[in-house]
Amino acid sequence: MDRMKQNLHQASKASYQDYFGKSISLFCASLVGMLVVAILYFVMTRGLATFTQNHISLRSFLLGQTWNPTQIGANGQPEVGALPMIVTSLAVTLLAALLATPFAVGVALFVTEIAPRRGGQLLQPMIELLVGIPSVVYGFIGLSALVPLMRHLFGGTGFGILTGTLVLFVMVLPTITSLASDSLRAVPLDYHSAALALGATRWQMLYKVVLRAALPGILTAVIFGMARAFGEALAVQMVIGNAVLMPKGWLTPTSTLTSQLTTGIGNTTLGTLPNNVLWSLALILLVMSLFFNSLVRFIGRRGRMQK
């Protein structure tokens, strides 16, 4: 009787096992969560040091046009204007996304709607392979093939926004294409049939029904592509010219946030102003990545509500 009572009141072996498993997996999950908090915390404290310790005004950092952290500028403060890099980063990102979106949507439509069998079998694996090509390889091709070509065609050095945009265009194309095809595939078949039954041509069906239904997904794909382009470092660094100057044309050497980070961080010592401002650049990257992320979430919510 006692043993029975004991058995009934004690947790079983199975529930101990479950307790063990749950705590282990929760431990791993919370570790990942803590890691993200740690990254945000460290990059933020480092990035804000420019403003709290070195007393640089946010205005002169974001809107200043000369970048020379070791020199004292006219206003008595070090010259840490990040505007040229911010402009270049935004420019290459937007241009690459603008250029890539029609191609990506075209290919996605081809793969999912026009020639699902032929297109799917041939293009799909190729696009998947392209997503996996390392960014240095894109950078190397840009440097060894695209830069001389640009120099030959347009003169100048061949480095600059145009070359950077073209390299990023090829890099984000597979990303946007594969995400856009996923969202096109998710459009219910009924929509197609309904449009065709009303006498729509294929293009009318695609344009008026399918593309509209898939719009939130396509927008998400474009934003993912932009996030990738904005954060891309080495491929851009190799073809952009790396001179922190306001871009004056399509092919003048300039610098993005990421390229300045990769070139600069090894040449500065931790805790000094030239190093702190680089962390501020990293902070801008972080904030932009959070911005892209919330944009995706926002579109996701809006897209769901419409259904």
Partner 1 sequence: MSRKTTDRLATGTIYAFVGVVVAILCGLIGYILITGIPDISWHFLTSAATAFTAGGGIRDQLFNSLYLLLLTLVISFPFALGCGIYLSEYAPQNWVTGLLRMAIEVLSSLPSVVVGLFGYLIFVIRFNLGFSILAGALALTFFNLPILTRSIEEALQDVPNLQREAGVSLGLSNWRTITKIVLPIALPGILTGIIISAGRVFGEAAALIYTSGQSAPTVDYGNWNFLSADSFLNPMRPAETLAVHIWKVNTEGITPDAVAISAGASAVLIVIILIFNVGARFLGQRLYQHLTASKSK
Residues in the chain: 307
- Please state the closest distance from residue 72 (CB atom) to partner 1, in A: 26
The string of DSSP letters for 70-91 reads EEE-TTSSEEE--HHHHHHHHH
Task: Please tell me whether residue 28 binds partner 1 under the rule CB under 8 A.
Answer: yes
Distance between CA atoms of residues 100 and 222, nearest Å: 9
Q: Which residue has the tokens 């265009």?
A: 169
User: Which range in 48-56, 77-85, 142-150, 186-194 contacts partner 1 by CB under 8 A?
Assistant: 142-150
Task: Please tell me whether residue 144 binds partner 1 under the rule CB under 8 A.
Answer: yes
User: Which range in 31-39, 61-69, 70-78, 244-252 contacts partner 1 by CB under 8 A?
Assistant: 31-39
Distance between CA atoms of residues 227 and 250, nearest Å: 22
| Binder of partner 1 out of 10, 24, 52, 188 (CB under 8 A) | 24
Task: Please tell me whether residue 103 binds partner 1 under the rule CB under 8 A.
Answer: yes
Distance between CA atoms of residues 11 and 54, nearest Å: 59
Task: Please tell me whether residue 26 binds partner 1 under the rule CB under 8 A.
Answer: yes
Residues 47 to 76 in contact with partner 1, rule: CB under 8 A? none
| Binder of partner 1 out of 62, 194, 198, 290 (CB under 8 A) | 290
Output DSSP code: residue 254: B
- Please state the closest distance from residue 42 (CB atom) to partner 1, in A: 6
Tokens linked to 305:
């509500």
Task: Please tell me whether residue 39 binds partner 1 under the rule CB under 8 A.
Answer: yes
Cα 90 to Cα 62, 79, 95, 171: the distances in Å are 13, 21, 8, 16
Q: Are 276 and 54 in contact (CB under 8 A)?
A: yes
- Please state the closest distance from residue 30 (CB atom) to partner 1, in A: 8
Task: Please tell me whether residue 172 binds partner 1 under the rule CB under 8 A.
Answer: no
Q: Nearest 10 degrees: CA dihedral of 235, 291, 44, 35?
A: -80
When the beta carbons of 73 and 141 are compared against partner 1, the nearer one is 141
User: Which range in 56-64, 73-81, 125-133, 152-160 contacts partner 1 by CB under 8 A?
Assistant: 125-133
Residues 197 to 216 in contact with partner 1, rule: CB under 8 A? 201-204, 206-207
Task: Please tell me whether residue 25 binds partner 1 under the rule CB under 8 A.
Answer: yes
Task: Please tell me whether residue 133 binds partner 1 under the rule CB under 8 A.
Answer: yes
Q: Are 250 and 154 in contact (CB under 8 A)?
A: yes
